[in-house]
Structure 1
Amino acid sequence: MNEQYLTYYSHHLNRNVEMLIFGHWGYPVLVFPTTLGRYYQAKDHQLVAAARPLIEQGKIKLYCVDSIDADSWYGKHLHPSARVHNANQYYLFLHDELVPWVQRQCNAPRVAVSGCSFGGYHAANFAFRYPYKVSHLFTMGAAFDIRMFMDGYYDNNVYFNNPPDYLPQSNDSNLWNMDIVLGTCQADFCRPANERLSSILSHKNIRHWLDIRGYGTHDWPVWRDMFPQYLSRI
């Protein structure tokens, strides 16, 4: 399985963003790390290994990108307005810089996005904000409401990064064409968040699969089971 380490300089972030890329060819899938995780986390926790057959067959190509959680949502040393500003810059980096580069590299009109736990939030927020960029959204054990990180602070930037707030008002036609999977399990403490988001999607008649497993918990073993199954939908 081809593996490549890459640093991508972001003008929006004024820093290098590290990533690991797996595969020689295939449909591009961005993978976001969990809370404060790094770009190598999906490899270390065998999420990449779970997808190896699809990667080696050239069906998918994984882009495991770094986060800036420590300087955004989890940056308790910053005022909440600075946290959400930095988060916005991260999503602009994805939208304006990284995703167009990935699309050109893979000759793909759109990308798939995925992530476990807080990585699932990143994937969902990007997909719902920019649905014209995303064909598939796969979340595993995710939560979607970021107001808990804002210490009571709320403005338009918070609103437009909080899917339970802005998604009910969104009417982008691409939402109805996206393949959406919300993966969770009965014992997952994030299950209610997935059920709530599923309810919002259902109210808008947006096709999706709320996959509630009867085994596992909020941890890597169940996510490793989910990941290749979801990727096979591409």
Structure 2
Amino acid sequence: MQETYTEFYSHHLGHNVKMLTFGTKGYPLVIFPTTLGSYSEAKDRGMVETLRWFVERGFLQVFCPDSINNYSWYAKIHPKHKVERHLQYDRFLAEEFIPQIRWNTGTGRVACCGISFGGFSAANFAFRHPEMVSHLICLSGAFSIKSFLHGYYDDNVYFNNPVDFIPNANNPYLWDMKIILGTSNWDICLDNNLKFSEILRAKQIPHWLDVLGDVEHDWPLWLEMLPRYAGHIK
């Protein structure tokens, strides 16, 4: 399984974004790390290894970009600036990074996967830019950032908080996206997934809410989940 390390300069962020890529062809799958995880987390934790079969046969090409959560949601700055910094990351993805990989296959779209708080990163990007994202896989995902903002709220918060903006969304690509919400009976994010599934159901947006057994919110659960869902990316 070929592994490539790159540093992608972002004009929107003003610095390099570190990234690992696995494979040389196949459907592009972007994996967002957990809360304060780095670009190497999916490899270090064995998640990329669970995709070896798909990568080596050219079905998937896996991209693991760094996050900036430590400079945005988890930074000790005013909540307004947290959201503004996240918007810079969103523009990096939408205008600089994703356009370079979205035509690796004929669909012009990519698959996004997020782990825990990375589920928010994946879901927020996918729902803001559904014309770029064909598949969304959330592993024990979270779908709200209000707990980071201490009551602060403005339009930027609204449009980066899927539980708020999805009820009013009308982009037709949302109904074409393949959405998987993976959780478990012992998952601390179970309630988040059940409630978000209800939001999608109310909009009649097709999705698969997959509640696994009595497994806690941790890597053993996520390592079981991803290869279970990877075969749906095509």
**TM-based fold match above 0.5:** yes
Give matches, 1:12-51, under 5 Å: 12-51=12-51
Q: Secondary structure at the match of 1:215?
A: strand
Which position in structure 2 is the counterpart of 1:109?
108
Q: Which 5+ residue runs of structure 2 have no aligned equivalent?
A: none
**For residues 137 and 5 of structure 2, what CA distance do their matches in structure 1 show?**
24
Aligned equivalents of 1:7, 1:28: Cα separation in 2:
18
| Letter of the 2:164 counterpart | D
| Superimposed CA distance per residue, residues 52-91 of structure 1 (whole angstroms, 9 cap, x where no aligned partner) | 1011110000000100001101112x11111100000100
Q: Percent identical across equivalent pairs?
A: 49
Describe the SS at the equivalent of 2:143: coil
Q: Secondary structure at the match of 1:200?
A: helix
Distance in 1 between residues matched to 2:139 and 2:31, nearest whole Å: 11
Q: Which runs of 5+ in 1 are unaligned?
A: none
Aligned twin of 1:173:
172
Letter in 1 for 2:195: R
SS of equivalent residue, structure 1 residue 166: helix
Give the residue type in structure 1 aligned to 2:57.
Answer: Q
State the distance in 2 between where 1:17 and 1:108 align.
26
What pairs with 1:147-166 in structure 2 (closer than 5 Å)? 147-166=146-165
Distance in 2 between residues matched to 1:106 and 1:94, nearest whole Å: 18
Counterparts of 1:211-230 in structure 2 under 5 Å? 211-230=210-229
Residue of structure 2 equivalent to 1:192: 191
RMSD, aligned CA: 0.9
Deviation digits for residues 164-190 of structure 1 (CA, Å, limit 9, x no counterpart) = 000000011001100000000000010
Contact 2:126 2:132 in 1 (8 A): yes
Structure 1 distance, partners of 2:40, 2:110, is: 20
Residue deviations 1:110-135 (CA, integer Å, cap 9, x gap): 00000110111100000111111100
Residues 17-166 of structure 1 aligned to structure 2 (within 5 Å): 17-76=17-76, 78-105=77-104, 108-166=107-165
Deviation of 1:107 (Å): 5.5
Taking the aligned partners of 1:44 and 1:57, their CA distance within structure 2 comes to 22
> Which stretches of structure 1, 4 residues or more, deviate above 6 A after TM superposition?
none
Shift of 1:231: 1.0
Q: Secondary structure at the match of 1:154?
A: coil
TM-score normalised to structure 2 length: 0.98
* TM-score, length basis structure 1: 0.98
